[in-house]
Amino acid sequence: MGILVDCKRGIVAVRIKVVGTVQGVGFRPFVYKLATSLNLNGYVLNLGGSEVEIHVEGERDSVRLFISRLTIEKPPPARIASVEIREIEPQCFESFKILRSSGELSARSSIPPDIAICRDCISEIRTHGSRFYRYPWNSCAWCGPRFSMMYDVPYDRENTAMFRFKLCEECLKDYEHPDSLRRFHAQGISCSKCGPRTLVYESNGKRIDVDNPVSFVAQKILEGRIVAIKGIGGYHIACLATRDEVVLDLRLRKKRPSQPFALMARDFAVVDKIAIPPQGARELLESPQRPIVVMPKRPGSPVSEHVAPMLSTLGVMLPYTGFQIMLLDMVEDGFLVMTSGNVHGRPMCTNLECVFSELANIVDYVVEHERQIVHRVDDSVMRFTDGVPVLLRRARGFAPEWIETRVELPDGVAVGAELQTAGAVCFEDKVVLTQFIGDVDEPAQLEDLEREIRWFAKVYKLNPKFVALDRHPLYHSRVVAKRLAGELNAELIEVQHHHAHIASVMGEIGLSEGEEVVGIAIDGTGYGDDGGIWGGEILIASYKDYRRVASLEPFILPGGDSSAKYPVKSLISIMASAGYSEDEVVGILDKMGLLKGLPHGLKEAEVVYYLSKSGKGTITTSIGRVLDAFSALLNICTHRSYEGEPPIKLEAVADRGRDLGYTPRLKNFSNRIIVSVSDMLRWAIDNISGVSEEDMAATILRGLGRALGVAALKSLEGRRNIKQYITVGGGAAVNAHIVRGIKEVLKERNIEVILPRRFPPGDGGIALGQILVASNKLQTLV
């Protein structure tokens, strides 16, 4: 690089712009120490778009060394996307300073996610004599809350919920003194003298004066009480995980009969005692993101069977705040139930008003801290699908980091889907997914979706040209989309559900406009071009368009949402489609004790059969409903109490089984390859008496995967202009047995199977695909 020289002074000067996750991670203090150690003068400041500007001047060799060390020695949480270096005239600075942040926006940068407490801060709260000894909310430049407490950018204290806590003399000294690297200009720091207090309440709102909140709460939990604890992005509900009566009491209070509860374990040694961590799990558990990791339950584990009923797995995370660490230090078992603090179906509480109005009948005590939660941020959840870590929920630790694509995008917005969803905004070549929002058929979550989209559009100073939405006419997210499009004078662009799933994966792996892939999209619900409900699809897709080349065998499903709630209805519908007579259907259901899986028993079975045979219902190819049917057939789950329960329990049974090698046959229908679900159902019914439910479940899932793999391979054959790999998306893409079946077939032809890694395959990542498809469609509208 040619650097300008001021011959009079013999110095050189450069201005550096660093883009990435560089605010709220101790980057400016690091720059200050690096510059002063090299005797360089100038300044560093945050800009309004969250990027950092650096001006350094001094001797040529020192400036060159500064530039080379800038990216190599950066703070651990910092992530640098780009560095722009520009030659400038020296300004004759006499020192190096951290300047007050600017509101100027020249380049946009990733907003920092919340980061788990670091080892140094943990050491301080455990060390006698430390100023931070037993201070529950200790943090530094390298850790602690970020996004969850931000009102605005740049990430300065006055733009966060910490603005109301004036630094004490000692903290101010740390903040201003460069020798305190972890606290020098660290925006979220505090101590017991100046930081948020920890308060304890009874569930009726009465405050309790206690000397040691952690000890008090630990004792109450050990006595079998249930406690709400405020964390980084919301409240948890904590209780013992070893006593059946305590867990069952929580289920009764929370009206959550069988959905699994998350656990929090003191350290990895405790995790290893209760679960069997797959290879790579420790790195995820101990990472700054601290996600919940779903992993096999260890035989003989002391965890109550009621924590995850009828499942072979547990969801476990490690503590990420000082309070959680000190609490688990006082629990002999080393682990607790630590589930979301919400009423079933409602968003997690983020303030005391919500806790006292919604959780008063669930918890006995409440632990509060005084820092406001600005953005609700749930715990992220991950699992391993055929050995590959996959996100189920993208929130704390991951959101709202952007995803870079290879597509130039106009400013835009996407509202996601309906259930377990998230929204997004876009600009340049970047898509920013909001944190996990949840089910937007609930008004509070729909409000969250709109509020978060508006916030991101504001802080990134966007002028959206389009608003993307799902094509399903009954999705509640359409209300938000239409309102935003009207206010912003933006184009409203519908995107087909499964096209968006495949486009999301295309975006992550960096495909450009015009490139095509064969994609498998498997889930529960997606509005199809024919007005039916799709969900077992193989598409040839680009961002611009798609062709439906294969699917599961369609069948008529009466009853709408009630069919998803009662899986026996899907079973009856598929049996009707497969040619079974009414007497045969009733006889099989009666023999297997499945009539009890319908609210009105025999009469309801006869009505469902009649409607299915008469074509009075919705035509569907949903793999979700197919898996529901087989879960019911094997008497694994005949009533759904939470989203995805029948397929999840079917997979849990399959984990103990052996694949028998059966694969349903393929046939052709209307120029489309069809996976014969009827064929599979007949095989299952014919063999059910001689095959264990474990082997049957494993074979059904693996066989479906193989059939989809064969259909995808046939769709790929002879098309050399299409990428020679298969992408897989949709909520069912996390099922390890189905994915193994797909891979088994394609591995023989050396064809790679690609799942998303940076966002959930389900509707939590669908907004990324909506953005990419809608931006392409916008070009044809302009």
Which residues are marked as active site? 28, 46
Cβ(469)–Cβ(475) below 8 Å: yes
Q: Which helix (H) or strand (E) holds 605?
A: helix 601-613
- What is the 8-class DSSP label of residue 603? H
Amino acid at 414: A
Tokens 């074509």 -> residue = 615
CA distance 653 to 759: 27
Following DSSP, what letter does each residue of 427-491 receive, concatenated?
A: EEEEEEEPPP-B-TTSHHHHHHHHHHHHHHHHHTT---SEEEEES-TT-THHHHHHHHHHHHT-E
248 Cβ contact partners less than 8 Å away, ≥ 6 residues apart: 306
CA 32 from centroid of its chain's CA atoms: 35
CA distance 6 to 312: 70
Cβ(21)–Cβ(400) below 8 Å: no
For residue 412, the cross-strand partners are 426, 466
CA distance 318 to 338: 10
Dihedral sign computed on CA atoms, order 301, 307, 310, 314: negative
No. of helices (H) and no. of strands (E), the chain:
23, 30
Buried b (16+ CB within 10 A) or exposed e, 726-738: bbbbbbbbbbbbb
For residue 296, the cross-strand partners are 313
Q: Is 263 helix (H, G, I), strand (E, B) or coil?
A: strand
Q: Is 53 helix (H, G, I), strand (E, B) or coil?
A: strand
What are the structure tokens assigned to 583, written together?
A: 């007497």
CA distance 663 to 538: 17
Cβ(263)–Cβ(250) below 8 Å: no
Cβ(57)–Cβ(11) below 8 Å: yes
Q: Which helix (H) or strand (E) holds 710?
A: helix 693-716
What are the structure tokens assigned to 686, written together?
A: 């014919």
- What is the 8-class DSSP label of residue 257? S
300 Cβ contact partners less than 8 Å away, ≥ 6 residues apart: none
Q: Is 768 helix (H, G, I), strand (E, B) or coil?
A: helix
